[in-house]
Amino acid sequence: MLDIMKAIYDMMGKCTYPVLKEETPRQHVEVFFQKMDKNKDGVVTIDEFIDSCQNDENIMRSMHLFENVL
């Protein structure tokens, strides 16, 4: 997940405003995982992942930010 998030941030370019910090992709992934791990066991199951993606408005909005990025 971290590699994917880093790739997305790389595609966004280094000219974002405000300027993104080096640790931003890792922080973004950590927030996603905390939200997805419903039973707080340190593991995100496929069911937790799907449920989170379908039901969390912030995650869906974040995913939609990238749908038109080239």
**Distance (Å, rounded) from C-alpha 40 to C-alpha 58?**
19
Among 17-21, 34-38, 54-58, the range with the most confident prediction by mean pLDDT is 34-38
What pLDDT sits at residue 55?
Answer: 87
In this predicted structure, the answer to whether residue 51 has a pLDDT above a threshold of 70 is: yes
Residue found by looking up tokens 């990238």 in the block? 66
Q: What is the pLDDT of residue 49?
A: 87
| Nearest to 48, CA basis, from 37, 60, 32 | 37
pLDDT mean over 26-40: 89
Confidence of residue 39 (pLDDT cuts 50, 70, 90): very high
